[in-house]
C-alpha cells in the first residue's frame, strides 16, 4: 500500500460462525473519518499538593455512585439512594455515605453534567469536564461506580467519563450483586486467585486474520512484561500456537490448575448467528479459540472459581453490545462487517454473559475489562511504521497492577490507556483543517479516529477501586523488577 493510501478492505476481531477472517470492503473511509467527532478530554484540576489518586478515601479523590434518574422519588430520597439494591445501600454506608449522582437520559446536559441531589433538597449539576476531584458539593469523585445496565445508563456515559475518571460498572442480577458486593466490602478475604500466576491466552488463525496481529502486538508484549518480572517469572503461563495451543480446553485447564489472579486473552468474540438474536445475545462476546470453538460461562465456572481474579479480554463485544454502534457507515453496505455491526446493535445495549457470570459468581472476580465494539487492525499498530500502539495496555496490566508497596487500583491502572482519546480529539481538529486545504491526510485521519474509538469502547466492569492484595514480603525480587 502506497504512503497515504487508504485500505480497500477492513478486518475486525469478530466471529461470523465459520472459518476465515471477517473482512469487508471499506466504505467511504475518508468521509467517515472526517465527519466523526471525538469527545475532548477535560482538564484535571488538582489541589496545590497533589493527592494520591490510589487513595479513594482521601476527600480530594473520593468514590461515588451513579444511578439512573428516578423522578418518582423526592430529592432527599434520591440523595439517599433509597431505590438502589440493598447491597449497594450497604456499600454506600460502608463508604461514609459517598455521593450519589443521577444520569438523566432526557436532559440536554446529559453529556456535560451529572446531577447530584442532597438530603436538604438541593440539586447541583457538577460539570464533567472541569469539576475538581473530590467529595465537595461541586466536585466529582475520581472513582465512580455505575450501578445500572447499559440500557438504563448507556455505555456512552462510561466512554465519556473514562477520559477523566476511574470508572467501573455493575450490571448483575440480585444474587450476583449480593455476591460481588459482599466480596468487595471485605476485600476478597482468603481469595484463591493467585496474582503471581498470570495466564495469557492468545489465538492466531494465520493468514490475513487479525488474531495474529492481536497476538503479536497485545498478548506477546504483556506476557514479556509479566514473565520478565522476577516476582512473576516462575508461574507466568502463555497459551498460544507455540505454547500448547490456544484452545478452550487449554484455557480451562490453566484456569483450574493455575488459579490465576490475572487472565489476559486475545481472540475473536462471538457475534453469531446474525439471524438468531436470542442465541447471539446468549453467546455474545464469548472467546473463540484457534479451533473455532468457545466455552460458555457455565463451562468456565464449572472448572474454576474466579475468586478475586482480574480478566482482560481483547475481543469483539467481550464486555457487551450497544444499540448504537460508534462505527456506523465505516464499511460498505452488505459487507460482513456491516452485517455484524447491524445484528449486534439490534440486540440492544447489554452486558455480555461472561463478565456477568464472573462478577456475579459465588466467589466473584474483582474486575473484567473488555470491549463493547470490535477492534480494527488499525488500532493495534501504526499502519505506516507498524509501531505497536499497545504499550499502555502493558503498563496497565503489569506496571500499574504489580506495584509492591501500593498495588494499582484497576480504574487508575487504565488511566494511561484512555489518555490518547484527548490527543486524538486535538489531532482530529488539526487533520480536518489539513484535509480542507487539500492535503492527503485521509489515512492519518482514519487511524486517529479508529484508535480513539477503540479505546473509548473499552470498559471496566466491577468496582474501579479494586486491586490485588498481598503482604509486602510476597513480591520476591522487587528491587530487580523495578517495582
Q: Which residue has the higher pLDDT, 13 or 305?
A: 305
pLDDT category of residue 481 using cuts at 50, 70 and 90? very low
120-129, 364-373, 416-425: range with lowest mean pLDDT: 416-425
Question: C-alpha angle 415/417/423, rounded to 5°?
Answer: 100
End-to-end CA distance of the chain: 42
Domains held by the chain: number = 2
Is residue 2 situated within a structural domain? Answer: no
Per-residue pLDDT for 258 more than 90?
A: yes
Q: Are residues 121 and 214 in the same domain?
A: no
- In this structure, the answer to whether residues 154 and 209 fall within a common structural domain is no
Q: What percent of the chain lies above the pLDDT cut of 70?
A: 92
Q: Are residues 252 and 368 in the same domain?
A: yes
178 domain residue, yes or no: no
pLDDT band at 3 (very low <50, low <70, confident <90, very high): low
CB-side neighbour CA atoms (13 Å) of 467: 25
pLDDT digits (tens, 9 = 90+) for 61-91: 999 999 999 999 999 999 999 999 999 999 9
Strand order in the sheet with 367-371: 123-124, 115-117, 100-103, 63-68, 143-147, 166-170, 458-461, 367-371, 310-314, 262-266, 199-202, 237-239
Question: Which of 69-78, 132-141, 149-158, 379-388 has the least mean pLDDT?
Answer: 379-388
Residue 470 CA from chain centroid, whole number: 24
Same domain, 316 and 454: yes
Contact 230, 174 (CB under 8 A): no
Q: Report if residue 38 sits inside a domain.
A: no
Question: ω into residue 273 within 30 of 0, thus cis?
Answer: yes
Q: Which comes out higher in pLDDT, residue 403 or 460?
A: 460
328 and 408 in a single domain? The answer is: yes
Spatial CA neighbour of 39 closest among 316, 326, 317 = 326
**Domain membership flag for residue 249:** yes
pTM for the whole structure: 0.89
Whether the predicted pLDDT of 482 surpasses 90: no
Return all residues near 217 (Cβ < 8 A) that are at least 6 apart.
Answer: 380, 381, 388, 389, 390
Cα separation, 102 vs 100, whole angstroms: 7
User: In the predicted model, is pLDDT for residue 111 greater than 70?
Assistant: yes
Is the same domain home to 141 and 206?
A: no
Residue 225 inside a domain? The answer is: yes
Residues 148-166, mean pLDDT to the nearest whole number: 96
Quote the pLDDT of residue 379: 75
Same domain, 128 and 210: no
Instruction: Report in angstroms the alpha-carbon separations of 40 from 37, 125, 128, 424.
Output: 9, 19, 11, 8
Q: What is the pLDDT of residues 376-418, one digit of tens each?
A: 877 776 666 666 667 889 999 999 999 877 889 999 999 989 9
Q: What is the pLDDT of residue 40?
A: 57
Range of the structural domain that residue 70 is part of: 63-162
Both 237 and 339 in one domain: the answer is: yes
Query: Do residues 413 and 240 lie in contact, with contact meaning Cβ atoms separated by under 8 Å?
Result: no
Instruction: Confirm whether 17 is domain-assigned.
Output: yes
pLDDT tens-place string over residues 267-289: 999 999 999 999 999 999 999 99
Exposed, middle or buried, 73 (CB in 10 Å: 0-12/13-18/19+)?
Answer: middle
Is 170 inside any structural domain?
Answer: no
Q: Alpha-carbon Rg of the chain, whole angstroms? A: 22
Within a domain: 349? yes
Work out the average pLDDT over 443-458: 87
Residues 144 and 207 in one domain: no
**415 and 309 within one domain:** yes
Contacts for 434 with CB less than 8 Å, ≥ 6 apart: 441
- Evaluated on CA atoms 275, 278, 281, 287, the torsion sign reads negative
pLDDT confidence of residue 47: 42
| Residue with grid cell 447541583, as numbered in its chain | 124
- Edge-to-edge strand order for the sheet containing 287-288? 14-15, 268-270, 287-288
* Claim to verify: residue 260 and residue 321 sit in the same structural domain: yes
Q: Are 428 and 319 found together in one domain? A: yes
Amino acid at each position: 500500500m502506497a504512503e497515504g493510501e487508504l485500505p480497500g478492505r477492513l478486518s475486525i476481531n469478530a466471529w461470523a460462525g465459520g472459518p476465515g477472517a471477517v473482512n469487508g470492503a471499506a466504505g467511504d473511509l475518508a468521509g467517515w473519518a472526517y465527519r466523526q467527532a471525538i469527545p475532548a478530554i477535560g482538564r484535571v484540576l488538582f489541589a496545590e499538593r497533589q493527592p494520591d489518586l490510589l487513595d479513594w478515601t482521601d476527600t480530594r479523590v473520593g468514590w461515588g455512585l451513579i444511578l439512573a434518574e428516578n423522578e418518582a422519588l423526592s430529592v432527599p430520597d434520591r440523595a439517599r439512594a433509597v431505590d438502589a439494591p440493598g447491597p449497594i445501600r450497604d456499600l454506600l454506608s460502608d463508604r461514609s455515605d459517598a455521593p450519589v449522582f443521577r444520569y438523566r437520559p432526557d436532559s440536554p446536559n446529559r453529556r456535560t453534567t451529572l446531577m447530584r441531589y442532597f438530603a436538604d433538597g438541593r440539586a447541583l449539576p457538577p460539570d464533567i469536564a472541569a469539576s475538581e476531584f473530590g467529595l465537595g458539593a461541586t466536585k466529582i469523585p475520581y472513582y465512580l461506580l455505575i450501578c445500572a445496565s447499559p440500557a438504563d445508563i448507556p455505555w456512552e456515559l462510561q466512554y465519556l467519563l473514562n477520559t477523566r475518571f476511574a470508572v467501573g460498572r455493575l450490571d448483575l442480577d440480585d444474587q450476583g450483586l449480593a455476591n460481588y458486593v459482599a466480596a468487595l466490602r471485605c476485600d476478597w478475604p482468603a481469595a484463591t486467585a493467585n496474582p503471581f500466576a498470570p495466564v495469557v491466552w492468545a489465538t492466531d488463525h494465520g493468514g490475513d486474520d487479525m488474531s495474529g496481529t492481536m497476538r503479536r502486538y497485545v498478548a506477546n508484549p504483556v506476557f514479556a512484561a509479566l514473565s520478565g518480572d522476577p516476582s512473576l517469572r516462575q508461574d507466568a503461563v502463555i497459551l498460544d500456537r507455540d505454547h500448547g495451543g490456544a484452545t478452550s480446553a487449554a484455557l480451562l485447564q490453566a484456569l483450574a490448575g493455575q488459579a490465576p489472579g490475572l487472565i489476559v486473552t486475545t481472540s475473536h468474540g462471538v457475534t453469531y448467528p446474525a439471524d438468531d438474536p436470542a442465541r447471539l445475545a446468549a453467546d455474545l462476546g464469548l472467546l473463540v479459540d484457534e479451533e473455532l470453538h468457545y466455552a460458555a460461562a457455565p463451562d468456565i465456572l464449572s472448572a474454576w472459581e474466579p475468586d478475586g481474579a482480574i480478566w482482560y479480554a481483547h475481543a469483539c463485544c467481550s464486555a457487551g453490545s450497544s444499540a448504537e454502534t460508534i462505527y456506523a457507515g465505516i464499511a460498505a453496505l452488505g459487507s460482513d462487517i456491516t452485517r455484524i455491526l447491524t445484528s449486534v446493535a439490534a440486540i440492544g445495549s447489554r452486558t455480555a454473559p461472561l463478565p456477568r457470570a464472573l462478577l456475579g459468581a459465588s466467589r466473584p472476580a474483582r474486575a473484567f475489562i473488555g470491549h463493547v465494539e470490535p477492534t480494527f487492525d488499525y488500532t493495534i499498530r501504526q499502519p505506516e511504521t507498524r509501531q505497536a500502539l499497545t504499550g499502555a495496555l502493558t503498563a496497565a496490566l503489569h506496571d500499574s497492577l504489580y506495584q509492591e508497596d501500593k498495588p494499582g487500583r484497576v480504574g487508575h491502572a487504565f488511566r494511561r490507556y484512555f489518555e490518547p482519546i484527548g490527543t486524538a480529539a486535538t489531532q482530529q481538529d488539526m487533520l480536518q483543517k489539513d484535509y480542507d486545504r487539500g492535503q492527503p491526510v485521509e489515512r492519518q485521519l482514519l487511524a486517529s479516529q479508529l484508535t480513539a474509538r477503540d479505546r473509548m469502547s473499552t470498559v471496566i466492569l466491577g468496582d474501579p477501586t479494586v486491586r490485588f492484595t498481598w503482604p509486602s514480603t510476597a513480591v520476591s525480587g522487587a528491587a530487580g523488577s523495578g517495582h
